[in-house]
Amino acid sequence: MDCRLGCGACCIAPSISTPIPGMPDGKPAGVRCVQLNDNNLCRLFGKPERPKVCLQFKAMKDVCGDSNSQAFAIITELEAAT
């Protein structure tokens, strides 16, 4: 599955415990990553400073569902379960 451009659920819904440029302590769940632009695209995509956890995320139907709103709901639920 390819990532849906402009979704941004994986950059908002989960917590990230590793440093992100502009967020040295990571980010809490439900908080928009500072590297997400107004079109919900990552400013660090393809750059070496992109966090490893972000590089390792792969869009998959069981995580991303069939729409941006489903992706946000699924990732939020997964975050709450962990």
Domain that holds residue 29: 9-81
In a domain? residue 2: no
3-state secondary structure of 42: strand
Question: What's the predicted TM-score (pTM) here?
Answer: 0.91
- Domains in the chain, number: 1
Please check whether residue 4 lies inside any domain of the structure. no
Whole-number average pLDDT of the chain: 96
Task: Express each pLDDT in 25-58 by its tens digit.
Answer: 999 999 999 999 999 999 999 999 999 999 999 9
The reported pLDDT for the residue numbered 24 is 97
Alpha-carbon distance 65 to 63, whole Å? 6
For residue 19, give the 3-state DSSP assignment: coil
Is 76 inside any structural domain? yes
Residue 1 lies in a domain: no
- The label of the residue with tokens 């990553």 reads 33
What pLDDT does 48 receive? 95
What pLDDT score was predicted for residue 12?
Answer: 97
Rounded Cα distance, 18 and 36, in Å = 16
Please say whether the beta carbons of 38 and 6 come within 8 A.
no
Residue recorded with tokens 């809490």: 28
